[in-house]
Amino acid sequence: MRRPTLLTLASASLLALTAGGVALGQAVGSEAATAPAPDGELARDFGAVDRNTVWDEVDRLKLDFPTFHPEGLVVTDDHIFLSSVEVIEPTQKYPSPVDGYDRTAGKGVGHLFVMNRRGELQKDIELGEGDMYHPGGISSDGTNVWVPVAQYRPDSSSIIYKVNAQSLKATEQFRVDDHIGGIVRDETTGHLVGNNWGSRRFYDWRPDGSTASTWANPSHFIDYQDCQYVPAGKMMCGGVADLPQSPAGGGAASTYELGGMALIDLHTHAILHEVPFQRWSTAGHVMTRNPLKLAADGKRLTMWAAPDNGDEGNGTELFTLEADVS
C-alpha cells in the first residue's frame, strides 16, 4: 500500500483547501464574481461516493503535544492548523433555563494550534474572550483561516476571527448573538456562512458582520462539525449524530456515533449529496466526528481526519484515508 509522506499530505491538501482555484497565499477579491465558476473536482467526485465506497487508510500522524478536544482542520502551503477547546470547568445543565441558557458557561481556553507540515507545533494561538472559549470548525479562503469561537452552550454568542495564514496574526472580524460551530467563505459572493449549535440554522453574513440571510438546515441526518468551501458556491461538511442504542444495547445511556458528510449549495440551500460514514479511530470514534477535510484529483478522494481527543486512545492522530472514485 502506498504510504504518502507528510509533505505529500500537505501538498495534496492544497487541492481541497485553495479557494476556488486561487493559490494559497494569493489575495482573494472581496467582490462577487460576475459569473459562477464551474464545479471543481471535489464537487464532482463526491457525487460518486455512496455507502459502499471503500476508504483505505494510507497514513496516520501522531500529534505529540497536548491537543485537548480538536474541532477543525486546515492545511496551507506552510502550516497545518488545528482548532481545539481546552475545558477547565465543564458546563452543567440547569434544571430549568436561567437567563435563556440551558447550562452554565463553564471555563476553558480556545486554541488554534499551528504546526509545520511534519506536525510539529510551532505556535499556540489562544482565541476567545470570557465565556467564549470554544473554537469550532475552521476553513481557509486562501489568505486567511476563519475561526468561530463561541460559548460552550446553545443560543449564546460568538466571535468570528480571521487568522492570516502567513503572518499568523489573528483579527476579530465581528460578533454574533448565537453559538457558531463552523464557518466558510463563499468565494462567489465574498460572504461568510456559518452554522449554529447542532447546525440547525445557517447564517450568511456580509464581511462587516451584517446578516444577509438565514435558513433552517433541511437535513436532520447529522450535526455538522467541520466544513470547507467547494467551488463553485458550495460547501462540504462532515459531522456526527449521537444516537441511542437499542434497549438490549444499553438504550439512551449508550449512544452510537453515526458519521456522515454532505455537500450543500450555498445559494439554493439544497443538500446536493450526503452519505453516511462508518470508519473508526483508535479511540473508537467515527472519523467524521470533528476535524475533517477532503481533496480530489479526478480519480481519488483523500480525507484527513483527527477525531480523537488528546487524552483518548493513542492521543490525537491525523488520519489519511483514500477512496477510488475513477
What kind and span of H or E run contains 322?
Answer: strand 317-324
Partners of 100 in beta bridges: none
**Residue owning grid cell 463561541:** 150
238-280 pLDDT, tens per residue?
A: 999 999 999 988 888 889 999 999 999 999 999 999 999 999 9
pLDDT at 1: 40
Reduce the DSSP state of residue 32 to 3 states and report it.
coil
**Is pLDDT of 9 > 70?**
no
The rounded mean pLDDT for the chain is: 89
Kindly state the average pLDDT of the residues 20-27: 32
Q: What was the pLDDT predicted at 37?
A: 57
What was the pLDDT predicted at 74? 95
pLDDT tops 60 at residue 87 = yes
Domain boundaries, the chain: 6-324
What percent of the chain has a predicted confidence (pLDDT) above 70?
88
CA 172 from centroid of its chain's CA atoms:
19
Residue with cell 452519505: 275
Sheet holding 300-305, edge to edge: 56-62, 317-324, 300-305, 292-296
Q: What is the pLDDT of residues 121-176, one digit of tens each?
A: 999 999 999 999 999 999 999 999 999 999 999 999 999 999 999 999 999 999 99
For the domain made up of 6-324, the CATH class stated in words is: mainly beta
In terms of pLDDT, which residue wins out, 252 or 58? Answer: 58
Name every residue whose Cβ is closer than 8 Å to that of residue 52 and which is 6 or more positions away in sequence. none
Confidence band for 16, pLDDT divided at 50, 70 and 90:
very low
> Is residue 31 scored above 50 in pLDDT?
no
Which residues lie below 8 Å from residue 91, measured CB to CB, with a gap of 6+? 103, 104, 105, 106, 152, 153
pLDDT digits (tens, 9 = 90+) for 203-237: 999 999 999 999 999 999 999 999 999 999 999 99
The pLDDT of residue 78: 83
CA–CA separation, 49 and 241 (whole Å) = 20
171-207 confidence digits (pLDDT tens): 999 999 999 999 999 999 999 999 999 999 999 999 9
Closest of 12, 11, 29, 10 to residue 20, by C-alpha: 29
Is residue 162 a contact partner of residue 178, using CB atoms and an 8 Å limit? no
Which of 30-34, 42-46, 233-237, 314-318 is predicted with the least confidence, judged by mean pLDDT?
30-34
pLDDT of residue 99: 96
Percent of the chain with pLDDT over 90: 81
